[in-house]
Amino acid sequence: RIAKAAQKPEYVWEFAVIQDDDQVNAFALPGGKVAVFTGILKYTKTEAGLATVMAHEVAHALQRHGAERYSRGILEQIGQLGALAGAAAGGVDPGLAIGAMSAYGVGVALPNSRDQETEADFIGLQLMAKAGYDPREAVPFWERMSGCPRKMIGKFCFRSQNAIPEFLSTHPSDVTRINQIEAWIPQALKFYHPESSPPESPTKKPISGSVLQS
Give the separation between CA 5 and CA 148, rounded to whole angstroms: 32
Average pLDDT over residues 41-45: 94
Coil, strand, or helix at residue 126? helix
Nearest to 35 by CA among 61, 10, 9: 61
* pLDDT per residue as tens digits for the range 11-26: 899 999 999 999 999 9
* pLDDT per residue as tens digits for the range 153-173: 655 554 544 454 444 455 677
Residue 163: predicted pLDDT: 52
Domains of the chain by residue range: 2-213
Which of 69-83, 97-111, 131-145 is modeled with the greatest confidence?
Answer: 131-145
Kindly list the catalytic residues: 57
Averaged confidence pLDDT in the chain:
74
Residue 82: predicted pLDDT: 52
- Lowest mean per-residue pLDDT among 34-48, 105-119, 195-209: 195-209
pTM: 0.67
Strand pairing category for 14-19 and 33-37: parallel
Coil, strand, or helix at residue 15? strand
Q: Which amino acid is at 132?
A: G
Kindly state the helix (H) or strand (E) to which residue 36 belongs, with its residue range.
strand 33-37
Give the separation between CA 113 and CA 134, rounded to whole angstroms: 27
